[in-house]
Structure 1
Amino acid sequence: MGFFSRLFRIKEQDPDNQDTTWAMEDNGSELVLDAEYAATLMTEIDIDAAIASHEGWRLQLQDMVNRRSDEVMRPERICHDDRCDLGRWLYGTGRLRLGHYPAFGMLVARHKYFHQQAAEVVTLFQAGEQQKAVQLLNSSCRHASNQVLLLLKELKRGLGR
């Protein structure tokens, strides 16, 4: 079972078993969502679009470092994790709905780290340090990106879609 799936699942309560009965405030690391609330969350963010957009950014960076694109990227803008669609949701509605859960904080942190690493890749590339840019893209930037994608996919699965 995936990370978010463990957090985003509906728990059955059995009044005769102390292990399965609990209130949400008794276990801050678990998220109890009823089907209606999960459906509401799914209307507030298109997780498939967020995944596609994030994958698109990664491909743009790859094209840049491999000199397959003439697009001029601006690291001073890329470093801001609250300006893309996912970032606006994470710092807006997402934070309001899910911000008190530790897993949500991890998603925000990994998304922010990806933006920082992506900006550094662009900075290195534009400074003529292509090899360093490639190394950074293929190491910590790719790792952060993969974590964001994994967490988004787990969030989607946990919400029942």
Structure 2
Amino acid sequence: MPENIPIDAADRKLISLLQDDARRTIEALAQACGLSASATQRRLQRLRDSKVISGEIAVIDPKRLGTRITLLVELELERDRPELMPALQDWIAATDSVQQAWQITGRGDLLLVVVTRSIEEFDGLAERMMEDNRNIRKFTTSVALKTLKRGLRVPVGD
């Protein structure tokens, strides 16, 4: 795991700008941060190398690709089978429909955010999930009726 690096006000501004629009040019970022283009490029490289910036992706509206359903799937695991956890984590990582996965406290053990084209597609996914992962005791699914907010923006402070 990379160690934390010191983050100053210019880094915070740069991170905030990138979270708004990662397509900005180095020159536009530099101007907004009050830095030279070369200093901005060096800061960006340091933030990427240290994994403060872990990736830059296109955010897609699933509805624009056709009918999409977002589901929140809470998994309860067999507590006496911790040796099966790596296989489940690999399955989650390899399954494109699983957008996010969180280990949680409370009633369940994991919470998955899943996007599929239909309930029927989710049924097939759920069936494979249970067949491939014997440490899942049960799961509970909630269908998202409306997206109120979607994002991965991290508050960077001042």
TM-score where L is the length of structure 2: 0.28
Q: Which has the higher strand share?
A: 2
Q: Which has the higher helix share?
A: 1
User: Greater relative contact order: 1 or 2 (C-alpha under 8 angstroms, separation 6 or more)?
Assistant: 1
The structure with the larger Rg is 2
TM-score normalised by structure 1 residue count: 0.28
